[in-house]
Protein backbone atom coordinates (compact mmCIF):
# COMPACT_ATOMS: atom_id res chain seq x y z
CA UNK A 1 0.00 0.00 0.00
CA UNK A 2 1.33 3.42 -0.95
CA UNK A 3 0.67 6.69 0.85
CA UNK A 4 -0.19 8.15 -2.54
CA UNK A 5 -3.08 5.77 -3.21
CA UNK A 6 -6.85 5.94 -2.87
CA UNK A 7 -7.09 2.92 -0.49
CA UNK A 8 -4.60 4.51 1.90
CA UNK A 9 -5.98 8.05 1.78
CA UNK A 10 -9.68 7.29 2.07
CA UNK A 11 -9.92 3.90 3.75
CA UNK A 12 -6.85 2.79 5.69
CA UNK A 13 -5.71 6.10 7.21
CA UNK A 14 -9.16 7.32 8.39
CA UNK A 15 -9.89 3.93 9.98
CA UNK A 16 -6.53 3.84 11.77
CA UNK A 17 -6.90 7.40 13.01
CA UNK A 18 -10.36 6.65 14.43
CA UNK A 19 -9.14 3.49 16.16
CA UNK A 20 -6.10 5.32 17.49
CA UNK A 21 -8.13 8.23 18.87
CA UNK A 22 -10.66 6.04 20.69
CA UNK A 23 -8.04 3.63 22.06
CA UNK A 24 -6.94 4.19 25.66
CA UNK A 25 -3.40 5.41 26.19
CA UNK A 26 -2.14 1.96 27.17
CA UNK A 27 -3.34 0.47 23.87
CA UNK A 28 -2.28 3.18 21.40
CA UNK A 29 1.03 1.49 20.54
CA UNK A 30 -0.82 -1.79 20.08
CA UNK A 31 -3.18 -0.10 17.62
CA UNK A 32 -0.19 1.33 15.76
CA UNK A 33 1.54 -2.05 15.66
CA UNK A 34 -1.51 -3.95 14.39
CA UNK A 35 -2.26 -1.22 11.86
CA UNK A 36 1.34 -1.28 10.67
CA UNK A 37 1.24 -5.06 10.20
CA UNK A 38 -1.94 -4.73 8.14
CA UNK A 39 -0.30 -1.95 6.11
CA UNK A 40 2.77 -4.09 5.47
CA UNK A 41 0.77 -7.22 4.72
CA UNK A 42 -1.40 -5.41 2.18
CA UNK A 43 1.01 -6.08 -0.63
CA UNK A 44 3.09 -8.99 0.60
CA UNK A 45 1.61 -10.81 3.61
CA UNK A 46 4.22 -13.60 3.55
CA UNK A 47 6.99 -11.17 4.44
CA UNK A 48 5.31 -10.06 7.67
CA UNK A 49 6.74 -13.14 9.35
CA UNK A 50 10.26 -12.15 8.35
CA UNK A 51 9.83 -8.66 9.76
CA UNK A 52 8.41 -10.11 12.98
CA UNK A 53 11.37 -12.49 13.16
CA UNK A 54 13.79 -9.56 12.74
CA UNK A 55 11.96 -7.65 15.48
CA UNK A 56 11.96 -10.67 17.80
CA UNK A 57 15.70 -11.20 17.36
CA UNK A 58 16.35 -7.50 17.95
CA UNK A 59 14.23 -7.60 21.11
CA UNK A 60 15.96 -10.70 22.52
CA UNK A 61 19.46 -9.50 21.66
CA UNK A 62 18.73 -6.10 23.17
CA UNK A 63 17.74 -7.72 26.48
CA UNK A 64 20.77 -10.03 26.44
CA UNK A 65 23.18 -7.20 25.64
CA UNK A 66 21.87 -5.20 28.57
CA UNK A 67 21.68 -8.24 30.86
CA UNK A 68 25.41 -8.90 30.44
CA UNK A 69 26.56 -5.27 30.17
CA UNK A 70 28.96 -5.79 33.09
CA UNK A 71 30.55 -8.68 31.21
CA UNK A 72 31.81 -6.84 28.16
CA UNK A 73 32.91 -9.90 26.19
CA UNK A 74 29.54 -11.60 26.47
CA UNK A 75 27.65 -8.38 25.80
CA UNK A 76 29.81 -7.69 22.74
CA UNK A 77 29.23 -11.23 21.49
CA UNK A 78 25.45 -10.74 21.60
CA UNK A 79 25.82 -7.39 19.84
CA UNK A 80 27.88 -9.01 17.09
CA UNK A 81 25.33 -11.81 16.76
CA UNK A 82 22.55 -9.24 16.48
CA UNK A 83 24.38 -7.32 13.76
CA UNK A 84 25.28 -10.55 11.94
CA UNK A 85 21.71 -11.91 12.00
CA UNK A 86 20.25 -8.61 10.74
CA UNK A 87 22.81 -8.31 7.95
CA UNK A 88 22.39 -11.98 7.04
CA UNK A 89 18.65 -11.52 6.55
CA UNK A 90 19.20 -8.34 4.52
CA UNK A 91 21.92 -10.03 2.48
CA UNK A 92 19.78 -13.06 1.72
CA UNK A 93 16.83 -11.11 0.38
CA UNK A 94 18.62 -8.22 -1.26
CA UNK A 95 22.09 -9.32 -2.36
CA UNK A 96 22.30 -13.08 -2.79
CA UNK A 97 21.37 -13.03 -6.50
CA UNK A 98 23.84 -10.19 -7.10
CA UNK A 99 26.69 -12.27 -5.68
CA UNK A 100 25.58 -15.43 -7.49
CA UNK A 101 25.38 -13.55 -10.80
CA UNK A 102 28.83 -12.04 -10.39
CA UNK A 103 30.29 -15.37 -9.27
CA UNK A 104 28.86 -16.98 -12.39
CA UNK A 105 30.34 -14.20 -14.55
CA UNK A 106 33.81 -14.67 -13.03
CA UNK A 107 33.91 -18.47 -12.97
CA UNK A 108 31.83 -19.29 -16.04
CA UNK A 109 29.51 -21.43 -13.93
CA UNK A 110 25.72 -21.40 -14.22
CA UNK A 111 24.49 -21.50 -10.64
CA UNK A 112 20.77 -20.71 -10.85
CA UNK A 113 19.60 -17.44 -9.33
CA UNK A 114 17.23 -17.71 -6.38
CA UNK A 115 15.03 -14.88 -7.72
CA UNK A 116 13.94 -13.82 -4.26
CA UNK A 117 11.46 -10.96 -4.09
CA UNK A 118 12.71 -8.04 -2.02
CA UNK A 119 10.56 -7.29 1.05
CA UNK A 120 9.49 -3.66 0.98
CA UNK A 121 11.36 -1.47 3.44
CA UNK A 122 13.79 -4.18 4.58
CA UNK A 123 16.77 -1.84 4.27
CA UNK A 124 15.06 0.74 6.48
CA UNK A 125 13.85 -1.53 9.27
CA UNK A 126 17.11 -3.50 9.28
CA UNK A 127 19.06 -0.30 9.92
CA UNK A 128 16.62 0.65 12.68
CA UNK A 129 17.13 -2.67 14.46
CA UNK A 130 20.91 -2.42 14.00
CA UNK A 131 21.03 1.07 15.51
CA UNK A 132 18.84 -0.08 18.42
CA UNK A 133 21.01 -3.03 19.47
CA UNK A 134 24.27 -1.14 18.92
CA UNK A 135 22.98 1.79 20.99
CA UNK A 136 21.97 -0.60 23.77
CA UNK A 137 25.50 -2.03 23.69
CA UNK A 138 27.03 1.46 23.79
CA UNK A 139 24.80 2.37 26.73
CA UNK A 140 23.09 5.17 24.82
CA UNK A 141 19.64 3.71 25.41
CA UNK A 142 18.11 1.16 27.75
CA UNK A 143 16.82 -2.07 26.27
CA UNK A 144 13.09 -1.95 25.61
CA UNK A 145 11.32 -4.37 27.96
CA UNK A 146 7.93 -4.11 26.26
CA UNK A 147 7.95 -6.12 23.00
CA UNK A 148 4.86 -4.28 21.75
CA UNK A 149 6.63 -0.91 22.02
CA UNK A 150 9.74 -2.14 20.24
CA UNK A 151 7.70 -3.79 17.50
CA UNK A 152 5.62 -0.63 17.09
CA UNK A 153 8.84 1.37 16.67
CA UNK A 154 10.29 -0.93 13.99
CA UNK A 155 7.05 -1.57 12.10
CA UNK A 156 5.65 1.97 12.40
CA UNK A 157 3.95 2.37 9.03
CA UNK A 158 4.54 6.13 8.52
CA UNK A 159 8.28 5.52 8.06
CA UNK A 160 8.43 1.79 7.29
CA UNK A 161 8.79 1.75 3.52
CA UNK A 162 10.66 4.95 2.65
CA UNK A 163 12.13 6.36 5.82
CA UNK A 164 13.37 8.57 7.23
CA UNK A 165 15.50 6.12 9.21
CA UNK A 166 14.17 6.79 12.69
CA UNK A 167 16.55 5.79 15.47
CA UNK A 168 15.22 4.27 18.64
CA UNK A 169 17.07 6.87 20.72
CA UNK A 170 15.08 9.64 19.01
CA UNK A 171 11.66 8.16 19.82
CA UNK A 172 12.28 6.08 22.97
CA UNK A 173 10.56 8.59 25.23
CA UNK A 174 7.82 9.22 22.69
CA UNK A 175 6.98 5.51 22.68
CA UNK A 176 6.24 5.78 26.39
CA UNK A 177 4.38 9.06 26.31
CA UNK A 178 3.66 11.60 23.60
CA UNK A 179 1.53 14.66 23.31
CA UNK A 180 -1.46 15.03 21.04
CA UNK A 181 -2.63 18.56 20.37
CA UNK A 182 -4.86 20.16 17.78
CA UNK A 183 -1.93 22.31 16.60
CA UNK A 184 0.32 19.26 16.16
CA UNK A 185 -2.44 17.43 14.28
CA UNK A 186 -2.92 20.41 11.98
CA UNK A 187 0.82 20.65 11.32
CA UNK A 188 0.92 16.93 10.58
CA UNK A 189 -2.00 17.09 8.14
CA UNK A 190 -0.46 20.13 6.42
CA UNK A 191 2.94 18.45 6.08
CA UNK A 192 1.35 15.27 4.75
CA UNK A 193 -0.65 17.06 2.07
CA UNK A 194 2.36 19.08 0.93
CA UNK A 195 4.33 15.84 0.60
CA UNK A 196 1.44 14.24 -1.27
CA UNK A 197 1.39 17.16 -3.70
CA UNK A 198 5.15 16.91 -4.27
CA UNK A 199 4.85 13.21 -5.00
CA UNK A 200 1.78 13.23 -7.26
CA UNK A 201 1.82 16.61 -9.00
CA UNK A 202 5.56 16.96 -9.58
CA UNK A 203 7.41 13.65 -9.08
CA UNK A 204 4.87 11.49 -10.92
CA UNK A 205 4.54 13.90 -13.84
CA UNK A 206 8.31 14.21 -14.25
CA UNK A 207 8.56 10.41 -13.97
CA UNK A 208 6.23 10.16 -16.96
CA UNK A 209 8.61 12.41 -18.91
CA UNK A 210 11.54 10.14 -18.00
CA UNK A 211 9.65 7.05 -19.17
CA UNK A 212 8.76 8.83 -22.41
CA UNK A 213 12.42 9.62 -23.01
CA UNK A 214 13.49 6.00 -22.45
CA UNK A 215 10.97 4.80 -25.02
CA UNK A 216 11.75 7.50 -27.58
CA UNK A 217 13.44 6.83 -30.92
CA UNK A 218 14.01 10.53 -31.53
CA UNK A 219 16.69 11.32 -28.99
CA UNK A 220 19.06 14.28 -29.09
CA UNK A 221 21.76 15.80 -26.92
CA UNK A 222 19.34 18.26 -25.34
CA UNK A 223 16.73 15.52 -24.89
CA UNK A 224 19.30 13.57 -22.85
CA UNK A 225 19.83 16.64 -20.69
CA UNK A 226 16.08 17.17 -20.36
CA UNK A 227 15.72 13.59 -19.13
CA UNK A 228 18.64 13.95 -16.71
CA UNK A 229 17.26 17.17 -15.20
CA UNK A 230 13.74 15.72 -15.02
CA UNK A 231 14.96 12.55 -13.29
CA UNK A 232 17.02 14.54 -10.77
CA UNK A 233 13.93 16.55 -9.86
CA UNK A 234 11.73 13.44 -9.99
CA UNK A 235 13.78 11.50 -7.45
CA UNK A 236 14.06 14.52 -5.15
CA UNK A 237 10.35 15.27 -5.08
CA UNK A 238 9.48 11.57 -4.86
CA UNK A 239 11.77 10.91 -1.92
CA UNK A 240 11.33 14.22 -0.10
CA UNK A 241 7.59 13.99 -0.72
CA UNK A 242 7.47 10.60 0.97
CA UNK A 243 9.61 11.94 3.82
CA UNK A 244 7.20 14.87 4.24
CA UNK A 245 4.27 12.47 4.32
CA UNK A 246 6.05 10.27 6.88
CA UNK A 247 6.87 13.24 9.12
CA UNK A 248 3.30 14.50 8.81
CA UNK A 249 1.82 11.10 9.63
CA UNK A 250 4.17 10.83 12.60
CA UNK A 251 2.77 14.08 14.01
CA UNK A 252 -0.78 12.80 13.59
CA UNK A 253 0.17 9.97 15.97
CA UNK A 254 2.16 12.17 18.34
CA UNK A 255 5.70 11.50 17.04
CA UNK A 256 8.31 14.06 16.07
CA UNK A 257 10.59 12.60 13.40
CA UNK A 258 13.78 14.35 12.38
CA UNK A 259 13.98 16.11 9.02
CA UNK A 260 15.35 14.13 6.07
CA UNK A 261 15.93 16.83 3.41
CA UNK A 262 17.07 20.44 3.57
CA UNK A 263 17.02 21.85 0.03
CA UNK A 264 20.05 19.86 -1.20
CA UNK A 265 20.05 21.43 -4.67
CA UNK A 266 21.13 24.81 -3.31
CA UNK A 267 24.42 23.31 -2.06
CA UNK A 268 27.78 24.81 -2.97
CA UNK A 269 29.73 21.55 -2.64
CA UNK A 270 29.11 17.83 -2.75
CA UNK A 271 30.03 17.74 0.94
CA UNK A 272 27.22 20.19 1.67
CA UNK A 273 24.84 18.31 -0.62
CA UNK A 274 25.19 15.17 1.45
CA UNK A 275 24.54 17.12 4.62
CA UNK A 276 21.21 18.11 3.11
CA UNK A 277 20.15 14.97 1.16
CA UNK A 278 18.67 11.91 2.95
CA UNK A 279 20.10 13.20 6.22
CA UNK A 280 18.90 10.22 8.26
CA UNK A 281 20.91 7.80 6.09
CA UNK A 282 23.99 10.02 6.09
CA UNK A 283 23.98 10.40 9.87
CA UNK A 284 23.41 6.63 10.26
CA UNK A 285 26.49 5.75 8.22
CA UNK A 286 28.46 8.46 10.03
CA UNK A 287 27.63 7.17 13.51
CA UNK A 288 27.68 3.42 12.86
CA UNK A 289 30.34 3.02 10.16
CA UNK A 290 32.45 6.14 9.58
CA UNK A 291 33.21 7.07 13.20
CA UNK A 292 33.83 3.44 14.34
CA UNK A 293 36.35 3.16 11.47
CA UNK A 294 38.15 6.18 12.91
CA UNK A 295 36.43 9.00 11.03
CA UNK A 296 38.84 11.83 10.26
CA UNK A 297 40.91 11.34 13.43
CA UNK A 298 43.34 9.08 11.64
CA UNK A 299 46.05 9.39 9.04
CA UNK A 300 45.16 10.97 5.72
CA UNK A 301 45.28 7.66 3.87
CA UNK A 302 43.14 5.93 6.48
CA UNK A 303 40.70 8.86 6.35
CA UNK A 304 40.35 8.48 2.59
CA UNK A 305 39.91 4.73 3.03
CA UNK A 306 37.09 5.36 5.53
CA UNK A 307 35.34 7.63 3.02
CA UNK A 308 35.76 4.96 0.34
CA UNK A 309 34.21 2.24 2.54
CA UNK A 310 31.30 4.38 3.70
CA UNK A 311 30.32 5.45 0.20
CA UNK A 312 30.73 2.04 -1.33
CA UNK A 313 28.34 0.75 1.35
CA UNK A 314 26.02 3.72 0.80
CA UNK A 315 25.77 2.89 -2.88
CA UNK A 316 25.31 -0.81 -2.17
CA UNK A 317 22.56 -0.03 0.34
CA UNK A 318 20.54 1.58 -2.44
CA UNK A 319 20.50 -1.48 -4.64
CA UNK A 320 22.13 -4.79 -5.56
CA UNK A 321 23.64 -3.68 -8.85
CA UNK A 322 26.96 -2.29 -10.04
CA UNK A 323 25.51 1.06 -11.03
CA UNK A 324 24.60 1.74 -7.39
CA UNK A 325 28.10 0.81 -6.23
CA UNK A 326 29.65 3.02 -8.92
CA UNK A 327 27.22 5.79 -7.94
CA UNK A 328 28.44 5.57 -4.34
CA UNK A 329 32.11 5.47 -5.39
CA UNK A 330 31.50 8.46 -7.68
CA UNK A 331 30.62 10.47 -4.60
CA UNK A 332 33.51 8.95 -2.65
CA UNK A 333 35.96 10.31 -5.23
CA UNK A 334 34.29 13.73 -5.29
CA UNK A 335 34.30 13.97 -1.49
CA UNK A 336 37.96 12.94 -1.35
CA UNK A 337 38.90 15.57 -3.92
CA UNK A 338 36.94 18.24 -2.03
CA UNK A 339 38.51 17.39 1.31
CA UNK A 340 42.04 17.29 -0.15
CA UNK A 341 42.01 20.63 -1.99
CA UNK A 342 38.85 21.63 -3.87
CA UNK A 343 36.72 22.99 -0.98
CA UNK A 344 38.88 26.09 -0.51
CA UNK A 345 38.39 27.03 -4.17
CA UNK A 346 34.64 26.35 -4.13
CA UNK A 347 34.26 28.91 -1.34
CA UNK A 348 35.50 31.69 -3.64
CA UNK A 349 32.44 31.68 -5.94
CA UNK A 350 29.00 30.60 -4.80
CA UNK A 351 27.66 30.74 -8.37
CA UNK A 352 30.38 28.57 -9.94
CA UNK A 353 30.32 26.13 -7.03
CA UNK A 354 26.55 25.78 -7.35
CA UNK A 355 26.85 25.04 -11.08
CA UNK A 356 29.54 22.48 -10.28
CA UNK A 357 27.26 20.73 -7.77
CA UNK A 358 24.16 20.73 -9.99
CA UNK A 359 25.99 19.32 -13.03
CA UNK A 360 27.67 16.54 -11.04
CA UNK A 361 24.47 15.63 -9.21
CA UNK A 362 22.59 15.40 -12.50
CA UNK A 363 25.30 13.11 -13.90
CA UNK A 364 25.24 11.02 -10.72
CA UNK A 365 21.51 10.37 -11.03
CA UNK A 366 21.96 9.21 -14.62
CA UNK A 367 24.24 6.52 -13.16
CA UNK A 368 21.71 5.84 -10.40
CA UNK A 369 18.83 5.35 -12.83
CA UNK A 370 20.71 3.26 -15.40
CA UNK A 371 19.78 -0.37 -15.96
CA UNK A 372 23.45 -1.19 -16.49
CA UNK A 373 26.82 0.54 -16.45
CA UNK A 374 26.90 0.31 -20.24
CA UNK A 375 23.70 2.33 -20.43
CA UNK A 376 25.04 4.82 -17.87
CA UNK A 377 28.21 5.48 -19.88
CA UNK A 378 26.19 5.69 -23.10
CA UNK A 379 23.76 8.24 -21.64
CA UNK A 380 26.48 10.39 -20.08
CA UNK A 381 28.51 10.30 -23.28
CA UNK A 382 25.46 11.29 -25.31
CA UNK A 383 24.83 14.26 -22.99
CA UNK A 384 28.20 15.61 -24.10
CA UNK A 385 27.79 14.84 -27.80
CA UNK A 386 29.57 11.48 -27.96
CA UNK A 387 26.58 9.42 -29.05
CA UNK A 388 26.24 10.75 -32.58
CA UNK A 389 22.87 12.32 -31.78
CA UNK A 390 21.78 15.72 -33.13
CA UNK A 391 21.74 18.69 -30.76
CA UNK A 392 17.97 19.13 -30.98
CA UNK A 393 15.13 16.79 -31.93
CA UNK A 394 11.44 17.27 -32.59
CA UNK A 395 10.47 15.24 -29.52
CA UNK A 396 12.77 17.31 -27.30
CA UNK A 397 11.02 20.52 -28.35
CA UNK A 398 7.59 18.95 -27.95
CA UNK A 399 8.22 17.56 -24.46
CA UNK A 400 10.02 20.69 -23.32
CA UNK A 401 6.88 22.67 -24.15
CA UNK A 402 4.61 20.01 -22.66
CA UNK A 403 6.47 19.67 -19.34
CA UNK A 404 8.06 23.11 -19.15
CA UNK A 405 5.70 24.45 -16.48
CA UNK A 406 6.20 21.42 -14.21
CA UNK A 407 9.97 21.63 -14.69
CA UNK A 408 9.98 25.29 -13.69
CA UNK A 409 7.77 24.58 -10.68
CA UNK A 410 10.10 21.72 -9.72
CA UNK A 411 13.21 23.90 -9.99
CA UNK A 412 11.65 26.68 -7.91
CA UNK A 413 10.18 24.18 -5.43
CA UNK A 414 13.60 22.63 -4.87
CA UNK A 415 14.78 25.95 -3.40
CA UNK A 416 13.73 27.74 -0.17
CA UNK A 417 12.13 30.58 -2.19
CA UNK A 418 8.47 29.43 -1.81
CA UNK A 419 8.93 28.92 1.94
CA UNK A 420 10.66 32.30 2.37
CA UNK A 421 7.91 34.03 0.41
CA UNK A 422 5.23 32.29 2.47
CA UNK A 423 6.91 33.27 5.76
CA UNK A 424 7.39 36.86 4.61
CA UNK A 425 3.72 37.21 3.73
CA UNK A 426 2.63 35.49 6.95
CA UNK A 427 4.84 37.83 8.99
CA UNK A 428 2.63 40.81 8.12
CA UNK A 429 -0.66 41.37 9.91
CA UNK A 430 -2.78 41.38 6.78
CA UNK A 431 -0.81 38.49 5.29
CA UNK A 432 -1.28 36.41 8.42
CA UNK A 433 -5.05 36.92 8.31
CA UNK A 434 -5.16 36.04 4.62
CA UNK A 435 -3.03 32.91 5.18
CA UNK A 436 -5.24 31.77 8.05
CA UNK A 437 -8.21 31.84 5.71
CA UNK A 438 -6.48 30.76 2.48
CA UNK A 439 -4.31 27.91 3.74
CA UNK A 440 -7.13 25.41 4.53
CA UNK A 441 -8.73 26.20 1.16
CA UNK A 442 -5.42 25.73 -0.67
CA UNK A 443 -4.68 22.45 1.12
CA UNK A 444 -8.18 21.15 0.42
CA UNK A 445 -7.77 22.05 -3.24
CA UNK A 446 -4.39 20.31 -3.27
CA UNK A 447 -5.92 17.13 -1.81
CA UNK A 448 -8.74 17.30 -4.36
CA UNK A 449 -6.29 17.68 -7.27
CA UNK A 450 -4.15 14.79 -6.01
CA UNK A 451 -7.21 12.57 -5.56
CA UNK A 452 -8.44 13.40 -9.05
CA UNK A 453 -5.02 12.53 -10.47
CA UNK A 454 -5.00 9.19 -8.65
CA UNK A 455 -8.51 8.33 -9.79
CA UNK A 456 -7.89 9.34 -13.39
CA UNK A 457 -4.27 8.26 -13.85
CA UNK A 458 -2.49 4.94 -13.57
CA UNK A 459 1.08 6.26 -13.29
CA UNK A 460 2.07 6.13 -9.63
CA UNK A 461 5.46 4.41 -9.34
CA UNK A 462 7.28 3.76 -6.10
CA UNK A 463 11.08 4.15 -6.32
CA UNK A 464 11.82 2.42 -3.04
CA UNK A 465 10.72 -1.08 -3.82
CA UNK A 466 14.40 -1.68 -4.64
CA UNK A 467 15.47 -0.49 -1.18
Active site residues: 318
> Are the beta carbons of 165 and 284 closer than 8 angstroms?
yes
Phi-psi region of 146 (alpha: psi -120 to 50; beta: other; left: phi over 0): beta
d(CA 285, CA 409): 33
Q: What share of the chain is helix, strand, coil (3-state, %, to 5)?
A: 75, 0, 25
Nearest residue to 153 via CA among 171, 138, 178, 179: 171
Q: 18, 418, 415, 448: which is closest to 253 by C-alpha?
A: 18
Cβ neighbors of 80 (< 8 A, separation 6 or more) are none
Establish whether the linkage from the previous residue to 164 is cis, with ω within 30° of 0: yes
Q: What angle do CA 365, 354, 284 make, to 5 degrees?
A: 55
Asked if 194 contacts 247 with a C-beta cutoff of 8 angstroms, the reply is no
- CB-based contacts of 300-305 (< 8 A; 24+ apart in sequence): 303/339, 304/336
Does the bond joining 147 to the residue before it have cis omega, within 30 degrees of 0?
A: no
The conformation of residue 263, written as its DSSP 8-state character, comes to -
Instruction: Tell me how far CA of residue 94 lies from CA of 103, 120, 189, 363, in angstroms.
Output: 16, 10, 34, 26
Say how far apart CA 435 and CA 173 lie, in whole Å: 34
121: left (phi over 0), alpha (psi -120 to 50) or beta: left
CA 218 to each of CA 223, 229, 393: distance values in angstroms, whole numbers, following the listed order = 9, 18, 6
Please list, residue by residue across 144-160, b when 16 or more beta carbons sit within 10 angstroms of its beta carbon and e when fewer do.
beeebbbbbbbbbbbbb
Residue 453, helix vs strand vs coil: helix
What's the sign of the alpha-carbon dihedral 4, 6, 10, 12?
Answer: negative
How far apart CA 221 and CA 404 sit, in angstroms, is 17
In eight-state DSSP terms, residue 295 is T
Amino acid sequence: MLFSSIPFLFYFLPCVLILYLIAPKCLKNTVLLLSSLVFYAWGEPRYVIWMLLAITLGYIFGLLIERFKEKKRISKLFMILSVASSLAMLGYFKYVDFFIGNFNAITGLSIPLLKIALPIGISFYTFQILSYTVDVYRGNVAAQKNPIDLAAYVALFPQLIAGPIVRYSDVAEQLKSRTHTLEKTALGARRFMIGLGKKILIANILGELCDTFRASDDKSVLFFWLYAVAYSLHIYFDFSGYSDMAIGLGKLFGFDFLENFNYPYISASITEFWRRWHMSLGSWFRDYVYIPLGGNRVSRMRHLFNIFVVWMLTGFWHGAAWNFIVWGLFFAVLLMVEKLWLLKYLKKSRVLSHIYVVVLIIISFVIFDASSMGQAFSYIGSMFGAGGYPLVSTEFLYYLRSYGVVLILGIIGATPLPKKLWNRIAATGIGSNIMTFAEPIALSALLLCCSAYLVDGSYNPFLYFRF
